[in-house]
């Protein structure tokens, strides 16, 4: 194998406010993010599935999460999968796979954030709007850019075979 890659990217909503702890001289933030998907099963029924992802942030990202993230916040998360292990009180070995996030971006400003119950009730509709916006062709900024494009097209049409480099 030439190499490997361990990268996770998510867009979803926080299920609860970040839990902040201090470990030594560092801060750590723990929270979960919900992502949704929908599909049609063999019977033709639409099925909605929500997946919950455990997120862990350390140091500066944790401090920023503490200040700005709250339950219902729509975020873009980048990180990597990490599995940690420990022994519980009865001596059993336990495992947890989490996303160790090194970067995140809020996808709403404070004015766009709403009551958390509204956020969760409308999550699927907002996700579809985001997808629709990504699939929509770009719109022109003003008439001048459209006129510039027309000028370019007309000059391209005037070229002759003598102008070709081969």
Task: Sketch out the chain's domains with CATH numbers.
Answer: 8-39+46-136 (2.40.50.140)
Is residue 86 classed as helix, strand or coil in its secondary structure? Answer: strand
Distance between CA atoms of residues 118 and 112, nearest Å: 12
For residue 123, the model assigns a pLDDT of: 47
For residue 89, the model assigns a pLDDT of: 93
Residues 6+ apart with CB under 8 A from 22: 28
Partners of 81 in the β-ladder: 99
Ranges under pLDDT 70 in the chain: 1, 110-166
For residue 115, the model assigns a pLDDT of: 52
Q: How far is CA 133 from the centre of its chain?
A: 15
Q: Are 79 and 50 in contact (CB under 8 A)?
A: no
For residue 119, the model assigns a pLDDT of: 46
Distance between CA atoms of residues 93 and 85, nearest Å: 7
Residue 94 Cα distances to 23, 30, 83, 87, 90, angstroms? 21, 18, 10, 6, 11
For residue 2, the model assigns a pLDDT of: 72
């Amino acid at each position: 194998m030439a190499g490997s890659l361990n990268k996770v990217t998510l867009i979803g909503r926080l299920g609860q406010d970040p839990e902040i702890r201090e470990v030594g001289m560092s801060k750590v933030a723990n929270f979960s993010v919900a992502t949704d998907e929908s599909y049609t099963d063999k019977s033709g029924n639409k099925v909605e599935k929500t997946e919950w992802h455990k997120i862990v942030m350390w140091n500066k990202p944790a401090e920023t999460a503490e200040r700005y993230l709250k339950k219902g916040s729509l975020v873009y998360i980048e990180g990597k999968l990490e599995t940690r292990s420990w022994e519980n009180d009865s001596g059993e070995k336990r495992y947890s796979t989490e996303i160790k996030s090194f970067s995140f971006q809020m996808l709403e400003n404070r004015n766009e954030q709403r009551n958390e119950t509204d956020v969760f009730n409308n999550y699927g509709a907002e996700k579809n709007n985001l997808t629709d916006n990504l699939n929509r062709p770009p719109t022109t900024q003003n008439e001048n850019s459209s006129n510039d494009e027309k000028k370019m097209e007309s000059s391209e049409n005037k070229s002759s075979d003598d102008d070709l480099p081969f």
